[in-house]
Amino acid sequence: MRMVSRLVFAFGLFLALAALLPAVAAAQAKPVTTTFWDAEPADLVKLRMEILKGFEAKYPHIKINYLNIPYAEARQKLVTAAATKTLPDTMFFQATWLGEFAAMGELLDLGPYAEKWPGGKNLLPQVFSVGKAYKNTLYYLPSEFQIDALFYRADWFKEAGIKGPPTTWAEFLDAAKKLTDPAKNRYGFSMRGAGGNERYYIMWMLMANGNVFFEKDGSLGLLNHGGMDGLKWYLELCTVHQVCTPNSVNNSFLENTAEFSSGTAAMYIHNQYSVARQIKAFGGTVEAAREKFGTAAIPRGPKGRYIAANFTNGYVIFKQSAHPEETWELVKWMLSPENDSKFSQTTGALPANKSVYDEAWFKGNPFLAVFKQQLDDPAGSFNFPIQMAKWNSLIAGPLKEEFQKGLLKQQSAEATGQAIGKAISDALK
Amino acid sequence: MLAPALGFILTFILYPLGLNFSTSFQHRVFTEPMANQFVGLANYVKIATDPTFWLVLRQSALWVTGSLAFQFLLGLALALLLNERFPARGLYRSLILSPWAISGVIIAIMWKWMYNPQVGVLNEILVRLGLVSHRLAFLADPSTALPAVIFTNIWRGTPFFAVILLAALQTVPKELYETAAMDGAGPWQRFLHVTLPSIVPMIFAALLLRTIWIFNDVDLIFVMTDGGPVRASETLATFLYKKASRDLDFGMGSALAMVMFAILMTITALYYRAFRRSGRMF
């Protein structure tokens, strides 16, 4: 009996020491400071700082030097920092920057870290497939997904007696024509013709050609297999059928959103960030908003499929980091289900953790289901070639301008397609 | 005693200028670190043979002259008005500065929405007054995008001239006007022969400064049109920014910067020549 008591006591002491040891180790660990940049809007900074405070409480020996940069300046600041060797340890990073910064040799391979991380099993497989876009090396860990869907005015459809939402291109065009009435300042579709326009016309081309961006030999396949027809169809919405709002060529997503909520456009395409804005614009509650608008899958193309563009933001660790191990702890913290959920609930982004999708806030919002459906469909979502070092300058330059020329009828749809194809092919060399 | 000034000039003017000049002769693209090399005049030849460069140069000339001419004329008119006595003059003098006091980005966002054909107030007014039969997409039409941004720039920059020229008008001795009036000079003659000659130095200074600022300005264009649609509102400054910052081509960006520097130095030299010819010291 005495022996048993001693054993129990010894075991209890062992458990107590095991529980205390990490805290003791952390307290005795050398204090380090890790620098974290992000470009979130000002209204998210408070949430970000709360999450970072939680990290510092858990890891008292790691201090975060946090800097929030205005989004419009973030890439410029990163480029300058890369030139002057003053990059932070980690950053909340945009996917389109991956190719150029990886090509510069500035990103750390996160593969060895992720392999040893049990939490990685809870992440969507898309996190790793997108994260390994550059030379099949995990330089990037997406933490949020933005996937596009169709926003449509359910009340206009009902008023016009149109069965909505449209599920095919033909239904989409038919609805857009019926809902266009310039005398009443109403148009069927608000097209994005300014920065970011490539997301949508490339989607249309891929729907037409069976989702072939690159051929098997690595050459550009976007124009092939019917891709050019898809571009022509999409352009003709504005140039022939005239169902687009007059400002379409200069529209960013802000104008698209405003035209929809102000009652001048019946449909537009955007990601789930628009859901919260439109709920606010149409009554402030899900119940009130459902009377006015709905979300639906992108209408299916001639090959019977929809393709939705997938865009991500996430985390990288820069090679210049003097504390990669500690910085990795921070990245894991940001990607934990608890913090992933907090962020997604506030930003409207699709989270990276599988378990978060089972939470009540996601399941209870009927507008969000279609985005997850498209994200989960491997044949229905498309990731842009962010591994290309020149992708970012392509989308800001020729891919935007050539499409605008087509929209303004300064060149034919065929010439537009050829110019876009040439720009991408030249960048591949 | 000269050392601090020389040190400042060396560190913040000559060194960056020299570095930029040196980079302009190199192929220096951030995403091609292995390809950095000296290429001589290749960047300058590319610029000279690029039709886009000549297009944006023409548009820069339009941007500067269009903005400057109206800013100056309206600013002078406002200054002459505000130099007269009338009730609440002080309040109007304060209000006139407000466009100048607002950030360029805020002004650009505000005007971008005002110009919007679907939700903008300008179209609403034009339609309701029956002045247009259909809504006008000012910023989406290549023929009106640059004029629309110039109009916004005129709105923004007029207060600068108004304030500078008002200050200049207040230094003109009243006795000159009295003498001219006694000699039978009417208002227009007093303006031509008393007011204008007295404030010419300030006019030249203000014109030179604004020329340089407008030539280098990017904020309104970036926010309102991003140089579009299809480069219809692109200027040399925005073209340079995109080359360097978006394409990460610092060699070409540096060469474009040197071209801009040469243009501005030429304008400044012409100004000084004209000024010396008029016999006035500034």
What does the alpha-carbon distance between residue B149 and residue A240 come to, in Å, rounded to a whole number? 29
Q: Hey, what amino acid is at A94?
A: Q
What does the alpha-carbon distance between residue B113 and residue A3 come to, in Å, rounded to a whole number? 83
What does the alpha-carbon distance between residue A395 and residue A390 come to, in Å, rounded to a whole number? 9
Indicate if the pLDDT at residue A199 is higher than 80. Answer: yes
Of A76, A99, A250, the CB nearest to B229: A250
pLDDT of res. B281? 45
Residue A264 C-beta-side C-alpha neighbours within 13 Å: 22
Q: For residue B226, list chain A residues with Cβ-Cβ distance below 8 A.
A: 194-195
What share of residues in chain B are helix, strand, coil (percent, to 5)? 75, 0, 25
C-alpha angle with apex A194: A68 to A258, nearest 5 degrees?
75
Tokens of B34: 């292995």
Taking only the tens place, the pLDDT of each residue in A33-90 is 999 999 888 778 899 999 999 999 999 999 999 999 988 788 889 988 998 899 999 9
Q: For residue A191, list chain B residues with Cβ-Cβ distance below 8 A.
A: none
Kindly identify which residue of chain A lies nearest to residue B135, measuring between CA atoms: A246
Torsion angle, CA of A274/A277/A281/A287, rounded to 10 degrees? Answer: 80
Write down the mean pLDDT value for chain A.
91
Query: In terms of residue numbers, what domain contains B92?
Result: 37-277
In a domain, B121, yes or no: yes
- A-facing residues of B in 237-276 (CB < 8 A) are 242, 245-248
In a domain, B23, yes or no: no
Indicate if the pLDDT at residue A268 is higher than 70. Answer: yes
pLDDT of res. A198? 94
Got the DSSP string for A116-183?
A: T-GGGGGB-HHHHHHHTTTTT----EEEEEEEEEEEE-HHHHHHHT--SS--BHHHHHHHHHHT-BGG
> Is residue B185 classed as helix, strand or coil in its secondary structure?
coil
Cα–Cα distances (Å) from A264 to A148, A179, A184, A244, B115, in that order, read: 21, 10, 8, 10, 15
- B-facing residues of A in 203-232 (CB < 8 A) are none
In a domain, B28, yes or no: no
Q: Which CATH number fits domain A31-145+311-363: 3.40.190.10, 3.30.1360.170, 3.40.50.300, 2.60.40.10?
A: 3.40.190.10
Q: For residue A193, list chain B residues with Cβ-Cβ distance below 8 A.
A: 140, 229
- B-facing residues of A in 331-350 (CB < 8 A) are none
CA A242 to chain centre: 30
Tokens of A68: 């929030």
Interchain proximity A408–B231, CB inside 8 Å = no
Q: For residue B142, list chain A residues with Cβ-Cβ distance below 8 A.
A: 408, 410
Kindly identify which residue of chain B lies nearest to residue A99, measuring between CA atoms: B31
Distance from CA of B247 to the nearest CA of A (A): 5
Tokens of B254: 């540096």
Indicate if the pLDDT at residue A21 is higher than 70. Answer: no
What does the alpha-carbon distance between residue B230 and residue A193 come to, in Å, rounded to a whole number? 11
Enter the DSSP assignment of A194: S
pLDDT of res. A81? 93
Interchain proximity B118–A194, CB inside 8 Å = no
Enter the DSSP assignment of A354: G
Residues in chain B where the model's pLDDT stays below 70: 277-282
Taking only the tens place, the pLDDT of each residue in A337-365 is 999 999 998 888 899 999 999 999 998 88
Got the DSSP string for A104-118?
A: TT-BPP-HHHHHT-G
What does the alpha-carbon distance between residue A112 and residue A91 come to, in Å, rounded to a whole number? 19
Cα–Cα distances (Å) from B21 to B38, B45, B257, B259, in that order, read: 12, 15, 9, 10
Chain length of chain B: 282
Taking only the tens place, the pLDDT of each residue in B4-62 is 888 888 888 899 999 999 999 999 988 787 888 999 999 999 999 999 999 999 999 99
| Tokens 């749809």 found at | A413
Tokens of A417: 């397609």
- A-facing residues of B in 127-146 (CB < 8 A) are 134-137, 139-140, 142, 145
Determine the average pLDDT of the residues in A208-214.
Answer: 93
Does the beta carbon of B28 lie under 8 angstroms from any beta carbon of chain A? Answer: no
pTM of the model: 0.84
| Closest to B228 (Cα-Cα) out of B211, B242, B245 | B242
What does the alpha-carbon distance between residue A171 and residue A152 come to, in Å, rounded to a whole number? 13
| Closest to A327 (Cα-Cα) out of A26, A28, A30, A35 | A35
| Closest to A367 (Cα-Cα) out of A278, A307, A298 | A278
Q: Going by C-beta distance under 8 Å and a sequence separation of 6 or more, which residues neighbour residue B53?
A: B47, B236, B239, B256
What's the pLDDT band for A378 if we cut at 50, 70, 90? confident
Enumerate the domain spans of chain A: 31-145+311-363, 147-309+377-428
Bridge-based pairing state of the strands B26-27 and B37-38: antiparallel
C-alpha angle with apex A196: A194 to A201, nearest 5 degrees?
95
Of A195, A247, A400, the CB nearest to B137: A247
Taking only the tens place, the pLDDT of each residue in A281-314 is 999 998 999 999 999 999 999 988 888 888 899 9
Distance from CA of B50 to the nearest CA of A (A): 15
| Tokens 């970036």 found at | B222
C-alpha angle with apex A48: A47 to A50, nearest 5 degrees?
65
What does the alpha-carbon distance between residue A372 and residue B258 come to, in Å, rounded to a whole number? 51
Bridge-based pairing state of the strands A381-383 and A308-317: parallel
Taking only the tens place, the pLDDT of each residue in A169-183 is 999 999 999 999 999
CATH code for position B171? 1.10.3720.10
In a domain, B3, yes or no: no
| Closest to A210 (Cα-Cα) out of A229, A195, A197 | A229
Residue A315 C-beta-side C-alpha neighbours within 13 Å: 21
Helix, strand counts (H, E) of chain A? 20, 10
Q: Hey, what amino acid is at B247?
A: D
In a domain, B45, yes or no: yes
Q: For residue A266, list chain B residues with Cβ-Cβ distance below 8 A.
A: none
Cα–Cα distances (Å) from A183 to A187, A354, B7, B134, in that order, read: 10, 48, 66, 8
Helix extents (H) in A262-390: 273-281, 286-290, 324-334, 337-347, 360-363, 369-376
For domain A147-309+377-428, the CATH superfamily is: Periplasmic binding protein-like II (3.40.190.10)
Indicate if the pLDDT at residue A318 is higher than 60. Answer: yes
Q: Count of CB atoms within 10 A of residue A28's CB?
A: 8
Determine the average pLDDT of the residues in A252-264.
Answer: 94
Q: Best residue in B31, B106, B249 to probe A by mutation, most A CBs within 10 Å?
A: B31
Percent of chain A at pLDDT exceeding 90: 72
Number of domains present in the structure of chain B: 1
Determine the average pLDDT of the residues in A313-334.
Answer: 96
Indicate if the pLDDT at residue A22 is higher than 60. Answer: no
Residue A85 C-beta-side C-alpha neighbours within 13 Å: 2
- Contact criterion met (CB below 8 Å) for B139 and A250: yes
pLDDT of res. B187? 87
Q: Count of CB atoms within 10 A of residue B77's CB?
A: 14
- Contact criterion met (CB below 8 Å) for B149 and B221: yes
Of B116, B136, B248, the CB nearest to A393: B248
Interchain proximity A250–B137, CB inside 8 Å = yes
Does the beta carbon of A61 lie under 8 angstroms from any beta carbon of chain B? Answer: no
DSSP β-bridge partners for residue A64: A34
- Contact criterion met (CB below 8 Å) for A218 and A424: no
pLDDT of res. A48? 92
What does the alpha-carbon distance between residue A282 and residue A172 come to, in Å, rounded to a whole number? 23
Tokens of B250: 């610092």
